[in-house]
Homo-oligomer: A and B are copies of this chain.
Amino acid sequence: MTTFSRPAGRAADALRPVKITRGFTIHAEGSVLIEFGATRVLCTASVEEKVPPHKRGSGEGWVTAEYGMLPRATHTRGDREAARGKQSGRTQEIQRLIGRSLRSVFDLKKLGERTIVLDCDVLQADGGTRTAAITGAFIAAQDAVDTLLASGKLSATPIVGPVAAISVGIVEGTPLLDLEYVEDVACDTDMNVVMTGAGHYVEVQGTAEGAAFTRAEMDELLRLADKGIRELVLLQAAALKLP
């Protein structure tokens, strides 16, 4: 089997350069620009002292997410969803995924009756925007929680551990970690994996775009995802140790 040759000579099991900028904007309780190569997502965490109806009076909080893409984040301009008057199915699917992923590492009882809203807006897209969004949103959420702890609104953290996400896929028969755009459009199978710092699965979403994939292929994809997420969790930790 010959292997697919990746742009910039990247190894099949290598992440793109990841860059994490905390405090990217000034108003949000947490604001992180995360870059996976040319993919750039701005993740802000906003604390709101209210909860949605299904949590009112429960003593529990809520964590939710919204996702958007600037019209010209992509090669050709896409419609502005606000102008079209509705969010696409893809957008809703992604923001639901981000919300579930972040809730998986929150103890909502300890959060108290407040909401953390994670806004993930793609400034520039080059593949892997949803996984970058989850990985960055965790850092923004941690910053927002630290703000609540510092202000005395919380006495103990509701976060039980880190969460990160990465895409894997099979291009021309070669399993690859962290697909960029040209790989994403060429791939037969695309899988997004969300894992905790402890190495357990939060979400696994694999789709055969072309041919269906075998169990052996899935095992190799999961191995790559595991490697990638271990590295991302270390990068998250490093970013959070900065002042």
**How near does chain B come to A145, taking the closest CB pair, in angstroms?**
16
Which residues of chain A from 65 to 94 have a CB within 8 Å of any chain B CB?
66, 68, 70-77, 80-83, 85-87, 89-93
**Contact flags (1/0) for A185-209 with B, using CB distance below 8 Å?**
0000001000110101111111110
**Contact flags (1/0) for A57-68 with B, using CB distance below 8 Å?**
000000000101
User: Do A27 and B124 have beta carbons less than 8 Å apart?
Assistant: yes
User: Do B222 and A200 have beta carbons less than 8 Å apart?
Assistant: no
Stretch of A13-21, A40-48, A149-157 lying at the B interface: A40-48
Q: Which chain B residues border A28 with CB–CB below 8 Å?
A: 72, 77
Tell yes or no: A100 within 8 A of B by CB: yes
User: Do B204 and A218 have beta carbons less than 8 Å apart?
Assistant: yes
Tell yes or no: A214 within 8 A of B by CB: yes
Tell yes or no: A5 within 8 A of B by CB: no
Within the assembled complex, what's the spacing in Å between the Cα atoms of A90 and B93? 8
Q: Which chain B residues border A236 with CB–CB below 8 Å?
A: none
A–B Cβ pairs within 8 angstroms, 27 of them: A25-B40, A28-B77, A31-B72, A44-B71, A46-B71, A46-B77, A48-B77, A68-B80, A70-B119, A70-B121, A71-B117, A72-B119, A82-B87, A82-B91, A83-B87, A85-B86, A89-B92, A89-B93, A92-B92, A93-B93, A195-B212, A196-B212, A198-B212, A200-B211, A203-B208, A204-B205, A218-B222
